[in-house]
Structure 1
Amino acid sequence: MPRGKIRDNFTLTFPAANRTIIMSLTRVGRLRPSVMAMAIRSQSTHNVFALVMGGGVAGSSVAYHLTKRNIKDVILLEKEAVATPSGTSFHSPGLVSASHPAHRYKPILAYSVELYSKLQDETGEPLNFERAGTIRLATNPTRLQEFKRYVARDYYKEGDVCKTTLLSPEEVAEIAPVVNTKQILGALYTTNDGMISASGLNRALVTGAKAGGVQVINSTPKTVRYDKGKGLWHVELADGSLVTARNLLNAGGIWANDIARLSGHELPMVIAEHQYATLTVSHWFLLALCKLPICSSTCISCFFFSRLLLLLTLLL
């Protein structure tokens, strides 16, 4: 086969964005394929402070907050466009909670509510953050006692984002009339949290991260190697490019173990499958006008909320 034909076929093995470099090199000195490969590899090598593997809500949030600390040499790696049905964040119900049995989590939960309240204005991405509150139902004495202890330790002060109170069954029926309170002993009610569009949040965090200097690459890791002597991670991507990073974050969601195995590690994680049901009501318009809070029960491991309010908001 003529030398020129061999060179042309070799050039086609590289991504389109890199072919111009290859053609320029061949015109200058008719370099051998091995030399050309070395040259193009140097053009596709990234040296960064952090490589975040996984562009869902967790990964994009880390990238976003790194930029807020003025750390800009960050790569966010996602196999395809963010907030697509192939990822787990896309299917999240988007519950935003400001209460937790462990009070040490209260500051970060409150921060999340505050961040989501202003992120849409910052990035221009719609979040549909509905702060209708959350009701956690107690159907047994043990759960009710747990809620009483929580309220006793809440230490709410003026200016806090959310406030938690204990409700009687009658108060539950007043706030959430769709709940049958016959088996309800009480409830924990948190104001000003609620639900958000998980895909919208994902896009907003990525937009904010990119505005702060983060580079988003659509590819997947092929090999992962740690250089203990230099304290560096060397990652080869499926597109042939190389990334050297001081820090590596695995935010792969249900694929996190696949990423971990590339470096010889095994994560103690189990993938759980959940079900959901979509219910319809006869007087949906009246329900849409009602700002129904999120209602959940850990006793029977379920929650429900009204998407009609979200739909009405979008239509208006």
Structure 2
Amino acid sequence: MIRSAQVVIIGGGVTGASIAYHLAAVGVRDVLLLERKFLASGGTGRSVGIVRQLYPTPETSQMVVRSLAVFQNFPDAVGGESGYVECGVVIGVSAAMRPQLEETVKRQRLFGVRAEVLEPVELARVEPRINIEHLGAVLYEPQSGYGDPTAVTTGYAAAARRRGVQIEQGVEVVTIRSAGDRVTGVETAAGDRVDAPVVVNAAGLWSTAVARLAGVALPIVVGRHPVFVVERDAEFGRPHLVYLDLAGGSYARPETGGLTLTGSLTDDETQHPMEPELLGGDVSLEEAAEVLERTGRAIPRLADARYRRGWAGAFDITPDWMPILDESPLRGF
């Protein structure tokens, strides 16, 4: 079967669904999103969903400030629920990291980032259960928190459908068609052809494989990032906020049911490349013990939390850890 679209989006994670919605919102017609499995089945569905505001570039900071406003008002802005919890985010850094933190905060406030640099001793008024012995400074973002990546994806997808976007699941793109230096469409594993002047690669962990179909090489490494779930004891009290311990190398994000999601913050994922198909696979008790020891030092009250489960998450990592937002040498792709 041969058909046509104005834009074909490959990938039904949160990025692909958001692109589909926003294209339709500005009046682009005939948008088709193709997802190999089901919505949020890739990295989105295995994300811990932390929403923080401080990023190292003006572009990413502006994106996250705008995104935060949407998450805070998702039912009205998009429709559906984002699962956003505004619990606050604390980022702890070493004394050596403090000058860079202060400079970044000063620069990013120009773009609307709402954050406050605190002395470690001042953290007691925000979250007294955090260990401050190894910290040189603390960043506090009171309006940040975490959301539900799958809910955000399905919310955007439903809103996109209401605006006329076609979303097809269980459809794998196996060929990207071109003529000269211009993309002309895609072909699917079922043998269908879709002619389109624009094809968007939103395949996340599979983006390098999709790019290769167009003869484009992307400098992306898929790095393994295990996530662990622990159950806080009954005496822990109110849920903690989101804590990113850059000085100690771990993070902790509260979850409903008295649970906490935690993992490593050592930025060594590029040293542990992973096949995307292994996403969601098993983790070892040795991996869990190493990370939970760090988490217990960061928030001592979590040292006695009960380990429940874990899974192999992953990051798609560029050389500077920033997203690739560009047109390739193949025009329209």
For normalisation by structure 1, the TM-score amounts to 0.74
What's 1:142 paired with? Answer: 96
Q: 1-side partners of 2:62 and 2:257: how far apart?
A: 28
Per the TM alignment, residue 117 of structure 1 is displaced from its structure 2 partner at its CA by 2.0
Q: Secondary structure at the match of 1:222?
A: strand
Q: Mark the CA change 1:186 to 1:122 in structure 2 (over 3 Å): closer, same or farther.
A: closer
Q: Secondary structure at the match of 2:96?
A: helix
Match of 1:296 among 230, 244, 253: 244
What's 1:24 paired with? Answer: none
Per the TM alignment, residue 267 of structure 1 is displaced from its structure 2 partner at its CA by 2.1
Kept in 2, the 8 Å contact 1:78–1:217? The answer is yes
**Structure 1 unmatched runs, 5+:** 1-40, 312-316
Cα deviation code 1:74-111 (max 9, x no counterpart) = 11010132134xx1110011111222233343322111
Aligned 1:62-141 pairs, distance under 5 A: 62-84=19-41, 87-139=42-94, 141=95
Q: 1-side partners of 2:14 and 2:109: how far apart?
A: 30
What's 1:226 paired with? Answer: 178
Q: 2-side partners of 1:237 and 1:105: how far apart?
A: 33
Q: Secondary structure at the match of 1:235?
A: strand
Question: Match for 1:78: what amino acid?
Answer: E
Per the TM alignment, residue 123 of structure 1 is displaced from its structure 2 partner at its CA by 5.0
What's 1:46 paired with? Answer: 3
Per the TM alignment, residue 263 of structure 1 is displaced from its structure 2 partner at its CA by 2.7
What's 1:38 paired with? Answer: none
Question: Match for 2:238: what amino acid?
Answer: L
What's 1:244 paired with? Answer: 195
Q: 2-side partners of 1:310 and 1:129: how far apart?
A: 17
Which is richer in helix? Answer: 1
Kept in 2, the 8 Å contact 1:232–1:244? The answer is no
Deviation larger for 297-306 or 64-73: 297-306
Percent identity over the alignment is 24
Deviation larger for 179-188 or 273-282: 273-282
Q: Mark the CA change 1:310 to 1:121 in structure 2 (over 3 Å): closer, same or farther.
A: farther
Which is richer in strand? Answer: 2
Question: Match for 1:150: what amino acid?
Answer: T
Q: Mark the CA change 1:149 to 1:232 in structure 2 (over 3 Å): closer, same or farther.
A: closer
Equivalent pairs counted in the alignment come to 258
Deviation larger for 55-64 or 271-280: 271-280
Deviation larger for 276-285 or 59-68: 276-285
Q: 2-side partners of 1:232 and 1:266: how far apart?
A: 16
Per the TM alignment, residue 177 of structure 1 is displaced from its structure 2 partner at its CA by 2.3
**Structure 2 unmatched runs, 5+:** 260-333
Q: 1-side partners of 2:77 and 2:38: how far apart?
A: 21
Aligned 1:5-44 pairs, distance under 5 A: 41=1
Q: 2-side partners of 1:148 and 1:250: how far apart?
A: 36
What's 1:275 paired with? Answer: 226
Question: Match for 1:119: what amino acid?
Answer: F
For normalisation by structure 2, the TM-score amounts to 0.71
Match of 1:192 among 139, 143, 161: 143
Cα deviation code 1:238-259 (max 9, x no counterpart) = 2222101111111111112222
Q: Let me know the Cα RMSD of the aligned residues.
A: 2.3
